[in-house]
Amino acid sequence: MTPVTSKVCVVGDFAVGKTSVVERFVNNHFSEKYLTTVGVKIDTKEIESAGTGIAHKLVIWDVAGSDRFGDTEFAYLRGASGYIYVADGTRPATLGAVENLREQIAGKYGPAPSVLLVNKRDLTSEWCISDERISGVSGAYDDLYRTSARTGEDVEHALTRLAGLIIDNDFRGA
Amino acid sequence: MELPAPVVDYLQSEFLSQTRPFCFLIDDNYRLIESWGRNDWCGLTGLETAVDMREPAPFLVGIDISALQQFEFIETSGRAVVNVHVIPADGQCYIVLLDAHRDHASLQSKQQSVNELRLMHGRLHKLIERQRELISELIETRSELDHHRRDAERISANKSRFIAMMSHEFRTPLASIINYATLAGEEPTSSNDVQKSIETISRSARHLTSMVEAVLDDASLDAGQVRLVEADFEIYSLLDDVAAMMAPLAAEKGLSFATQIDPDVPEVIHADEVRLRQVLINLLGNAVKFTLDGGVRLVATYNDGRLVITVSDSGPGISLEDQERVFQAFERGSRQDATGAGLGLTITLRLVELMRGEVSLDSLPGEGCTVSVHLPVQSAAGDAARSAPVLPTPSNDTIATKALSILVCDDDDDMIALVEHYLHRSGYGLITSSDSSEAIAKTLKYDPDLVLMDCNVPGVGGVVAARVLRERGYAKPIVALTASKLSDEEKAEFTHFFRKPAPMQQLLTEIKRLTH
């Protein structure tokens, strides 16, 4: 049976761990080396949709980090079924960047399923975004996860949760 | 104006070789109609007509192929980097892929540097923020500490005032008790029992008074009310006085007591005599109080403007743990059985510090205790001639180099004083007796390192005393110092024989020879 295919975009400020989150989800791998993404990286992963058993192929667009998008980046997002917003728990400003991007994207393309990942959970001694601050923005997203691409904590949960939201939004609701 | 044909041909050739275009045509369902160009570099090989191109080229998912558009730097799962051009044409669409890996690599390298710098800047900013926070915390903590310190000082001053006031309140009735007890004791009709009771009352009241004095001293020092009164005075005189005060107390306990004054110690110094006397009495008093066997030694040296007075004893010593506590008020270390307020060493330390000096303590359990007071004092050399003592100081080569005690038996107080002067200053501990029978008993009890015996003394006499001592096993030197003429047989009872008036230097030299 042909799988359902969805385009998912991963966005957030630079060096928050977007590529690492995708690498952990797609290949269950993590690299300590930081390598800046230029343009967009595309990966795919097929999963089984929770509950329905539907084969769901996610085409993941890992967009270069930025705190504000221009025409080039918006072109990448066109046709996306859902968004993964990623912030860095050790850099409070990245949560603000995610908020900017979410507002820009919603303004341009309208509402879409989304999850917020506050990443680098493993760096407990450097973690400096309070629970109150995270709770304050979490209402704008369908779900919130404190993740670690290094350990894998909650990465798969977050992406499969988004996949489920997309199925609900694009197919069941349709 | 168009470019010349050769230039156009050249540029076209360059562009094609660098971008290696691959083009394919798809219908409105993304199915492949036809393809052109090289496809080996972008991973899209083996394509068959009618295949859904979203499968081999997933970047097409979600793309609107009815609009002209382009996407820069798409890195595919095959890790090729392409610029994608979407060119609609009559319900179909051309997709053109251009190799962009060179531009991508160049931009990636620059962006990497920029991002790493931004991260470093962010970390630096964080560190600066943290530093600011720490400085704020430090300022706050200091302020709190200052606040606590002021509180503590206020409480301490209040406590000192209270203690001082209470001590004064105690002293007045204590003085009455002592005076009335003295009066009552002088009453001839008092029975023995009453006399004993009165003596107990007097003794207890005097003890209580000395404790109150100590508490008052400590409180005065605590409150900063003690001011030094510095003047020129004779340090030899002070040391002799203190030794004269302490030697009988030591003798009462059967302890030797020695004073050794280094010849370099100036005759006259500029310091607070009263407070220095108090320090020495405290130290010597402690040494005598806690020493049960052996002796106490007072040594004074002077070097480079510093007077060092050392009091050592052969008492039980102080453990390292207790050494940290004994200078604290009301602490006696492990000597909980000792009498007193436990303020002697506290007051000593505070007085010495007030005199800009230091106190050091060297002790091990079971090996005695040595307390040294180091004081910066000025030598008042100009007054030396005026205040030079009548008796000269013993020379260095007669000074004892180890702790030794000598029993001196003589019934002439002046002679005892003279011998005491020289032996003390040569560093020997002294046990004195004015009766030869008593001298026998003290020698057998305390086992001195040498006996210096006058022959015409009360009791059995010096010669018989020497013979008895030998018979009872005393094997150490017995030196006769007498004005009497002795027979050879009598002389044989002694290790050595001196006729009075013996030259003191000669006597000291012989004593050192016999005891070292």
Same domain, B431 and B487: yes
Contact yes or no for B122 and A41 at CB 8 A: no
Give pLDDT, residue B388. 45
Query: What 8-state DSSP symbol labels residue A111?
Result: -
Same domain, B338 and B403: no
Same domain, B364 and B384: yes
Each residue's pLDDT tens digit, A49-86: 877 788 999 999 999 999 999 988 999 999 999 999 99
Same domain, B383 and B235: yes
Each residue's pLDDT tens digit, B58-70: 999 999 999 999 9
Same domain, B166 and B81: no
Q: What is the DSSP string of A122-135?
A: T-TTT----HHHHH
Give pLDDT, residue B202. 78
Contact yes or no for A40 and B62 at CB 8 A: no
The span from the CA of B65 to the CA of B94, in Å, is: 9
The span from the CA of B188 to the CA of B165, in Å, is: 38
Give pLDDT, residue B342. 67
Contact call for residues B463 and B439 (beta carbons, < 8 A)? no
Chain A partners of B112 at a C-beta cutoff of 8 Å? 35-36
Which residues in chain B show pLDDT less than 70?
A: 164, 167-168, 189-190, 223, 225, 329-342, 381-396, 501
- Reading chain A (174 residues) residue by residue, the pLDDT tens digits are 788 999 999 999 999 999 999 999 999 999 999 999 999 999 999 999 877 788 999 999 999 999 999 988 999 999 999 999 999 999 999 999 999 999 999 999 999 999 999 999 999 999 999 999 999 999 999 999 999 999 999 999 999 999 999 998 887 654
Give pLDDT, residue B340. 60
Closest CA to B444 of B479, B408, B470: B470
Strand segments, DSSP code E, in B276-425 are 295-303, 306-313, 358-363, 369-376, 378-379, 405-409
Mean pLDDT of chain B: 85
Give pLDDT, residue B392. 61
Looking at the complex, report in whole angstroms how far the Cα of residue B14 sits from the nearest Cα belonging to chain A: 24
Same domain, B75 and B117: no
**Which of 3.30.428.10, 3.40.50.720, 2.40.110.10, 3.40.50.300 is the CATH number of A4-172?**
3.40.50.300
Same domain, B62 and B148: no
Same domain, B378 and B243: yes
The span from the CA of B411 to the CA of B455, in Å, is: 10
Contact yes or no for A75 and B108 at CB 8 A: no
Give pLDDT, residue B385. 43
The residue from B43, B68, B99 where one domain ends is: B99
Question: Sign of dihedral through CA atoms A21, A27, A31, A36?
Answer: negative
- Of all residues in chain B, the one with the smallest CA distance to A76 is B71
Same domain, B122 and B75: no
The residue from B36, B64, B99 where one domain ends is: B99
- Tell me the longest C-alpha to C-alpha distance in chain A: 48
Give pLDDT, residue B259. 86
Same domain, B241 and B364: yes
Same domain, B93 and B115: no
Give pLDDT, residue B384. 46
Phi, psi of A121 (to 5 degrees): -60, -30
How many structural domains does chain B have? Answer: 4
The span from the CA of B27 to the CA of B142, in Å, is: 77
Interface test with B, best of A26, A27, A36 (most B CBs within 10 A): A36
Query: Domain containing B493 — which CATH number?
Result: 3.40.50.2300
Tell the residue number behind the tokens 């180890």, with chain if given: B402
The span from the CA of A173 to the CA of B374, in Å, is: 94
| pTM for the whole structure | 0.52
Query: Domain containing B65 — which CATH number?
Result: 3.30.450.20
Same domain, B56 and B72: yes
The span from the CA of B54 to the CA of B63, in Å, is: 10
Closest CA to B429 of B300, B312, B313, B258: B258
Question: Sign of dihedral through CA atoms B95, B109, A38, B75?
Answer: positive
Interface test with A, best of B61, B65, B110, B127 (most A CBs within 10 A): B61
The span from the CA of B378 to the CA of B231, in Å, is: 10
Strand ordering across the sheet containing B478-482:
B358-363, B369-376, B306-313, B295-303, B256-261, B426-433, B405-409, B450-453, B478-482, B496-499
Give pLDDT, residue B386. 42
Give pLDDT, residue A159. 96
Give pLDDT, residue B383. 46
Chain B partners of A10 at a C-beta cutoff of 8 Å? none
Domain that residue B291 falls in: 231-389
Q: What is the ipTM of this complex?
A: 0.91
Q: What is the DSSP string of B95-145?
A: EEEEE-HHHHHHHHHHHHHHHHHHHHHHHHHHHHHHHHHHHHHHHHHHHHH
Nearest 5°: the CA angle B243, B246, B251 is 115
Instruction: Determine what percent of chain A is predicted with pLDDT higher than 90.
Output: 90
- Of all residues in chain B, the one with the smallest CA distance to A13 is B115
Phi, psi of B52 (to 5 degrees): -75, 110
The residue from B74, B99, B124 where one domain ends is: B99
Chain B partners of A27 at a C-beta cutoff of 8 Å? none
Query: What 8-state DSSP symbol labels residue B78?
Result: T
Strand segments, DSSP code E, in B245-288 are 256-261, 268-271
